[in-house]
Structure 1
C-alpha cells in the first residue's frame, strides 16, 4: 500500500517546528489521521457583535497545521472539516499514542501566529503594487485556475476536495472579484448542473450564501492549489504554475476610494503645501495647527509625517522659541536658496575681478573664472599680491 510506504515520511512531517509532537495517530483505510490534543478545553464565548474569537482562532490553528504538513506531504487533505467527526480510536488502528503530549490553547495560538507571520512575509516578498486597473491578475475570476475549474465535470465526493469545497472556493473567488451574488449563483448553478454527480441545490445555495457572508476575503491559495492538484490535467497544472511564477499582485486602490491615506501621501501633501505657501521664499513660518487645519489631518498622523519628513531630509524644521511657529523649508526651497546664493557669489566674484584685476572682457571672465578652472587667474592674482576670498 502507498499508505504504508509513506509512513516514514508521515512520521517526520507531523512534528511541527521540530518540537510539537502529535498526541495520537490513527491508521485508516486510505491514510492516517493525526491528533494534537489540548491539555484543557478552550471555552467559547460569543461577543455582542456575534463573533466568536476562540472559534476563529481554532479554525486558523487547524488551517496552519494542515498547511504546514502539506508542505512536506502534498497529499494532505486540507479540505477536511476542522471541527468534524473523526475516526474513533481502537486497538487495531492506533499506531501512536502518548497521553502526556498535550498542549495549551495559548501555546498553539502563539505557534499559529508565527506561521501566519512567516507566510505573510513570504507572500509580501512576491507582491508588486500596481495602479493600472487592467490586468488578468486583478480578479480571482480572471485567473487560470478559475477558468480551468469551471470546465471540470467529473468532480465527485470522496476524492480530495470534492463538490462542496470546489463550489465554495469558486463562490469565494466570485465574491472577492466583486461579482454580484445572483450572478455568482447563476454561474455556479450552471457549473453544478454539468457535474456528473451534482451537489444538492440547497447545499449549493448554502455555499454561495456562506461565501458572501463577509466572513471570508476570497478563495484561499491553499484550497486553490489542492483543487488544481486533484482535478487539473498535467498541461493545465503547467499553465497555473506559469501564471503563479509571474508574481502575486496586490492592487493599490485610488486614494479617493480609501478611508485612510498612506503616510507617504500625507507627506507629499505637506511638501506641496509648504512649497505653495513659500511663494519662492527660502523658508516659511507655519504652525502645525495651521498645517492640520489646511490639510484636515489628525495631530497623530501629522506627527508621524513630520518625523518621517525630517529623518528623510525632505523637510528642514527649526522650532520657534516658546509659542512661536516653526521655520520650515522643503528640499526644493533649500536647493533654490543655494542656487541663488551661488549665483550672487558668482556675480560678486566677477565684479571683484573687474574692479581689481582690470580685466575688461566680462564674458571671458564668466566663462573662465566662474564656470571653469581658475588656475590661470590665480596665477594672475598672485602677481598682484592679492588674496581673493569668495566668502
Structure 2
C-alpha cells in the first residue's frame, strides 16, 4: 500500500510539472475560491500572478460532448483546477484564451475558442491518428526530420498527441492583421509537414482541442525539451526556403503573379460536371492540379483544403473526404514543384466550355514536368539487402539488449547475402551498427540498427527515471566505444547529439567517444 501511494505521489508530481510547463504563466496558480493551498502560498502566488496577464483554457469531459449543437464543457482559469480535474478531462485547449464565455444560461455550452481570441501560444501539438507507429518511431522522426525531440507524447485510443512546448509564449495581438497568428500557423504547418513519415494529420486544427495529460496517458515527457520562439521561427523559415514559399504575400502583386486569381483557375474550379472515364483524366487529376497550383502560389495547406473541400462538395460526383485529403497531402508533400501545363490545357478542354477562348495566363510562374518520387523508383540492390538485414535483426533481437550476436558467416547464411556484398553494405549503410568483442576464436560480433539502439537508450532512460545512473552512463559509453565506425555509427552519434534530455550523459558519451577515436 505504501509503495502504491509513493507511485501515485510521483505521478501527481509529474502531472503537475507537465501542466505547469504547458500553461506558461497563462493561468493563475491557485483557485480564487476554495483553494487547498495554504494562505501564505496563495498570497505569494497572487503577487506573482499580477506580473503576467491571465486567461483561461477550455475543457471537455468526453469526446461525445463535441456536438453539432455546440461544445459541452467548462472554463478553467487556474493551474490548481486543471491539475485537480486532469483525470476527469479528456480534451482541453493547451493554448490560453483571453476571451471566453458560456453560450447558455445553464453554463453547459462553451464558446470563444477561435484564433482571434487567443492570448498566447504555449505549445505546438501534432495529432498522429494511428497506432501503427511506436513512441520510438515518433521520437526518431522528431530527431531525424523535425525540430528535435518533443516535450510530451500522450497516447489516445487511436494514436498520439505530440507536444512541442515553448520556453516563452508567443503572445497574440491584432497588430498587422494578427501577424503573430500567421507566423505561429506557419510554424505549426512546417512541424506537421516534417512528421509526415509518422502520419501527422495536416488538417488538424493548429490551436484547438487536444488530449488532456493525465496519470495514465503520458508516454514521454522531457521538461528540458522546450523551444524558444525565435529558434522555431528560424527553423520554419528554412523549411519554407526548401519548399520555395514565403510567409507573407504582398497583396499588390497577387493580381499580377498569382495563378489562383487567374481566369482559367477560376473557370476550372467552377466546373462541377467532372468525373472522368477510363483513359480520360478526371476528378482526381483536377483536384491534384488545383492543389498543386495553390502550393505553387504559396497558399497555406489549411486554406487550400477549405477551398477544395468546397469545390469537391459542389461536384456532381464528389470524392470522399479521405481521398481528397490524400490528394492534397501529395500535392503539398514537396515532391512536386508546380502544376503541369499539359494537364491544365487538357482539363480546360475537357470540362470548361469555351476553353479555347480563355487565355492561359501563367504570370512569371515556371511550369514543371513531374518526375516520380524517389520512393516510387526501383530500389537499388543495396537498399534491398539493407532492408532484409534490418528486418532480420529486428526479429531476432532480445528484449534485454539491442544487439544480436552472430558470426558474419551465420548472418550471410541466414539472410542469404554474399560475404563481399555484406562488407560493402556495412560501409554504405546508415542504418546498421556493428561491434566486436574478444579476440580470435573467442571473439563475438554484435549486430543492431540505429533505430533499435536509440529505442534501447530511451527505454534505459524510462527505467532509470529522470536521470541516467552513473552505471548506465558507463555501460552505454562502453558500448559506443566498441562500435565500428561505419555509416550507421555517425548517424547514431548525431542522434545522441540531438538527444538533449540528459546533457550530462551527452557530454560523457561524446567525450569518451571522441577521445578514444583520436588515439
Normalized against structure 1, the TM-score is what? 0.36
Normalized against structure 2, the TM-score is what? 0.28
Structure (1 or 2) with the greater strand fraction: 2
Higher Rg: 1
